[in-house]
Amino acid sequence: MEFSEAELAIREQLRRFMVTELEPRTAVFESGSELPYALMRKMIVELGLAMGADEIERGEARKPRGEGGADGEMRRFMRFAETQLMIEMCRVNPGYALSFGASVGLFGRNVAERGTREQAARWVPPVLRGEKIGCWCLTEPEAGSDALGGMRATARRDGDSFVLNGSKTFITNAPFADSFLVYAKSEEGLVQAFLVEKGTSGLSVSNPFPKMGMRSSPTGAVYLEGVRVPVANLLGGGIGDRDHVRKSLSSERIGLAAMSYGIAERCFEIAVAYAKTRVQGGKPIAEHQLVAARLARMYVGLSNARRIVYSSARGEPMSALEASAGKLYVAEVGTQVAMDAIHVLGGNGYMDEYVVERLARDAKLVEIGGGTTEIQLLTIARHVLA
C-alpha cells in the first residue's frame, strides 16, 4: 500500500514517540506499578493532539465540514492521522491505546458531538488535553451484549436533578477517572446519558480488575447509589435520537479494527524477522515450507485487514454495517496472526521477551469488547436482510 509524503511523515512522527517513550514504560504500565495517564498528557502535548480544545472551551460553534474540496481533504487527512495514531499505539501497547481511546474518544468525542455548547466547553477540553481522564459507562453486570434492552441503571427526575441508581462493569479507566458519562434508563424508558464528576456523593468505583490482557488499561466497576446530578448534566439536554448509543458503538468498532490491525502488523513483523534468523536443520526456519506457508497465510489476513482499516481512514465514514463487518474480520485476524506469531517463535513466543505473547493476550479482548463476535454477526445479518 502506497503512502503519501504527508502520511509517511505522520507515521514516522507517531512511531518515533511510541518506540522512544511508550515502549520503555510498557513494563511498569503492565505491572500496574505506574499509571499510563502522565504519558498520555505528554503525548498529547508533544504530538499536538488537543486540536480544537481551545475553540470548544471558548464555546465556539463547531463549523460543519463537507467531504468535498479542501474541507474534505482535511477531514480525510485527520481521519488518517487518528487511525495511524491508534495503529502505532497498538503496535507497542494496546492497553495504553484502549485507555486513551476511552477517554478522548468515547467520553470526549461523545460530549463534544452530542452535548450542549456549555457542556462541551466545561467537560471536553480538560479530557482532550489529558488533564482529566474520562470514561464511558454503558455495560452492566447483567447487560453486556444487550446493553440497552437489559439496562437496569435508572434515572429518576427529582425537581431540578436526576437521581441515578445502578452499577456498571468492565469500564475502562473507571478506577481513576475524573469524568463519567453514565447511561441510565429514564422513567419514560429512554436510555439517556449523564455527566458525573468524580467525588459526587453516591458515586464509587472498584479497584482495577485483574485481567488476562490489556493490563496497561485500568478496568473496573462503577457504583451509583442515589447519585444526584443536576438537569444541566443531562447530555445534550436529553438525546432524542434513540440510536445515539449504537452510533457511538460504530465509532468504537472502527477504532477497534485499527487496534487489531496494529497488533497484527507488529506480530507479523516479529515473526518474519525471527524466521529469517532462527536456524534449524542448518538453515533459517523461513526456508522450511511449512513455516513459510504459515507466514504467507498471516500476510493474506494482514493484507485484507489493511485494506479495510485504511479504506475507512482515507475514504467516507463507515456505515454501521461496514463498521461491524470490519471489526469482526480484523479482530479475528489480529488474534489469529498473534497466535501464529507465537507458533513461529515456538518456545520463545511464549516468553515475555519476544512481545508476541502479550500482544496475543491483548488481541483477544478486541473480539469481545465493543460487541462480541456473535453480536457483530447478528448486526450484520440484520442489516443485510433489512
List the catalytic residues: 252
Helix or strand run (H / E) with residue 167: strand 161-172
Plot region of 7 (φ>0 → left; ψ -120 to 50 → alpha; else → beta): alpha
CA dist 305 and 315 (Å) reads: 15
60 Cβ contact list (under 8 Å, min separation 6): none
Inter-CA distances, 70 with 76, 81, 131, 318, Å: 10, 16, 32, 21
CA dist 168 and 174 (Å) reads: 10
Q: At what angle do helices 320-345 and 373-385 cross, to 10 degrees?
A: 140
Residue written as grid cell 493474506: 300
Phi first, then psi: what are they for 193, rounded to 5°? Answer: -115, 140
Residue written as grid cell 440497552: 148
Contact 128, 160 (CB under 8 A): no
The gap between the terminal CA atoms of the chain, to the nearest Å, is 34
Nearest to residue 214, comparing CAs of 338, 81, 65, 90? 90
